[in-house]
């Protein structure tokens, strides 16, 4: 007799759409409560820009 087990998946490299949707919701909620970091991240993501550039980190060292 065979048990009803869901098919096992291999290691996943990308997040699922549900995980992405949940992450965006958490980010928006944090920005709405006044988180400066969350607001900056939303702006950077909307403009398709990195939050911290490599050059600024190198000059700071």
Radius of gyration of the chain (CA): 19
- Please check the confidence at residue 19 and state whether its pLDDT lies above 80: yes
Q: What is the pTM of this model?
A: 0.58
Structure tokens at 27: 């980010």
- Please check the confidence at residue 47 and state whether its pLDDT lies above 90: no
Q: What is the pLDDT of residues 22-41, one digit of tens each?
A: 999 999 999 999 999 999 99
User: Pseudo-torsion of CA 33, 31, 54, 17, nearest 10°?
Assistant: 130
The Cα 7–Cα 28 span in angstroms is 34
Structure tokens at 36: 């400066």
């Amino acid at each position: 007799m065979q048990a009803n087990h869901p098919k096992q998946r291999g290691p996943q490299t990308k997040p699922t759409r549900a995980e992405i949707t949940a992450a965006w919701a958490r980010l928006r909620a944090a920005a709405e409560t006044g988180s400066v970091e969350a607001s900056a991240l939303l702006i950077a993501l909307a403009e398709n820009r990195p939050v911290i550039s490599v050059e600024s980190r190198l000059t700071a060292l």
